[in-house]
Amino acid sequence: MNVVKVGLLGLGTVGGGTVNVLAKNSNDISRRTGCQVIVTKASARDITRPRICDTDGIKLTTNPDEIINDPDIQIVIELMGGEEPAKSLIIAALEQGKHVITANKALIANHGNELFAIATKNNVTLAYEAAIAGGIPIVKAMREGLSANSIEWLAGIINGTGNFILTEMRDKGSDFADVLKEAQELGYAEADPEYDVEGIDAAHKLCILASLAFGMPLNFEKVYTEGISKITPLDVTYAEELGYRIKHLGVARKTDAGVEMRVHPTLIPEKRLIANVDGVMNAVVVNGNAVGSTLYYGPGAGADATASAVVADIVDICRVLDVPSQHYVPALGFAPDKLQELPILSIENVTTAFYLRLSVKDKPGVMAAITTILADNGISIEAVQQKEPAKRGANAQVILLTDCVVEKSLLAALTDIESLDSINEPAIRIRVESLE
């Protein structure tokens, strides 16, 4: 049986999980590939600290170049995170004719176009299943399983931290800040949670998913990103009363005007399966013109879950080691020379429905003034609720659901509404997606 030697750049949670999964499932992996996969070397900043895996038989080093320059290693797995030195090490490995696997979504989103080109030039693979949604095989599904389809849109809960926070806010009625602290104590959120709660992590993943869906180069800088830090328990409650749940959603849609790529809080009808994805779990809905909507659900992080995706990439590479590179599945699912630059819509030109919450003085004529302004801007109202003030003289809360409207038209209407002397605070607005 052929022996395939693997080197790990990084031996933390995912690296240790990868070693464990390879050991635990070695028989099945060998049966699937016809190869014996062995991790021979691993690099880490500190090779003395305890590991979650058995390192017997693995040479540990603090110098990643030892792995890159080892002629016997055929597959390099980058699990270091960050842009440098990860990017330089990946390039060096590719240029030496080694296949590379990475879980580094930021690196792929920001530099994937360059890295894929280098891999193609050197007739090797740069695989990245683990970069998106942990153990969910969404890259495989979109590149291969849905290849008969023209993808029309996709929507995903692709950050477990944000989903945990919104779930806890709904279930416990807690404020954002309190749930964030809990998430940090449980290890779901970093000490600096910006990437998770402000949507940057999800935007990296959405950028890659959009390119897989529509056959276009990666355009991370054009993803609209909005976080969840301003979501209040009040809005979570009102959404529930209207039959919706608030999720931090990544949406990519191809329209006649261009491609939408956006991450933001979103009201989703509670009857949708994805609206019921709770806690730290991830899910992605992909709509194809032949199959319709398909849902992919599972753990978005964790040692074994992410390692499952890494090892799946190892299996795929082992199967093509002796196959000419022109027969490899393209990195983004489309032949590299067939990728198309597509116009990306600014958020102001995106059409969606909206949830609006207005704090108003409790006096006659307020609703009439609001609805008149909306009508003058071509905005129809789907539903309306007025919450009476808890005490005399307090503000009333007006809740509106609009029909679909171009965002710039809504913003124009809100400017006029907020200028009314009966409006006390800036409007709260959250986009609504039916996902039909």
Task: State residue 361's pLDDT score.
Answer: 83
Q: How far apart are CA 128 and CA 108, in angstroms?
A: 8
Q: Quick one: CA dihedral 190, 198, 82, 22, positive or negative? A: positive
Among candidates 413, 402, 411, 401, which has minimal Cα distance to 348?
Answer: 411
Q: 336 is written with which tokens?
A: 């590299």
Residue 370 burial by Cβ neighbours in a 10 Å radius (0-12, 13-18, 19+): buried
Which run of H or of E encompasses 305? Answer: helix 303-319
CA atoms within 13 A on the CB side of 379: 29
Which run of H or of E encompasses 405? Answer: strand 405-406
Q: 342 is written with which tokens?
A: 């597509």
271 is catalytic: no
The amino acid sitting at 203 is: A
Among candidates 223, 290, 226, which has minimal Cα distance to 253?
Answer: 223
> 3: how many CB neighbours lie within 10 A of its CB?
11
CB 122 within 8 A of CB 94: yes
Catalytic residue among 205, 222, 254, 363: 205
pTM metric for this prediction: 0.94
At residue 122, the 3 state secondary structure works out as: coil
Q: 260 is written with which tokens?
A: 């939408």
Q: What is the CATH number of domain 349-432?
A: 3.30.70.260
Q: What is the CATH number of domain 2-135+303-338?
A: 3.40.50.720
Report the first-to-last Cα separation within the chain, whole angstroms.
49
DSSP string, 169-215: HHHH---HHHHHHHHHHTTSS-SS-HHHHTSHHHHHHHHHHHHHHHT
Q: How far apart are CA 172 and CA 166, in angstroms?
A: 10
Q: How far apart are CA 355 and CA 402, in angstroms?
A: 7
Q: How far apart are CA 240 and CA 424, in angstroms?
A: 24
Task: State residue 390's pLDDT score.
Answer: 63
DSSP string, 324-376: -GGGSPPTTSS-GGG-----B--GGG-EEEEEEEEEE-SSTTHHHHHHHHHHH
Residue ranges covered by each domain of the chain: 2-135+303-338, 139-299, 349-432
Residues ≥6 apart with Cβ < 8 Å to 106: 81, 82, 83, 204
In CATH terms, 139-299 corresponds, of 1.10.472.10, 3.40.50.2300, 3.40.50.300, 3.30.360.10, to 3.30.360.10
Torsion of CA 338, 344, 350, 352, to 10 degrees: 40
CB 260 within 8 A of CB 267: no
Q: Tokens 């416990």 appear where?
A: 172
Q: How far apart are CA 189 and CA 206, in angstroms?
A: 20
Task: State residue 392's pLDDT score.
Answer: 63
pLDDT along the chain (436 residues), means of 10: 94 95 96 96 93 94 96 97 94 97 97 97 97 95 97 97 94 91 86 91 97 98 96 94 96 97 98 95 97 96 93 96 90 95 97 94 82 92 81 78 96 92 89 94
Task: State residue 187's pLDDT score.
Answer: 83
Residues ≥6 apart with Cβ < 8 Å to 360: 366, 370, 395, 396, 397, 398, 422, 423, 424
Q: 254 is written with which tokens?
A: 């191809």
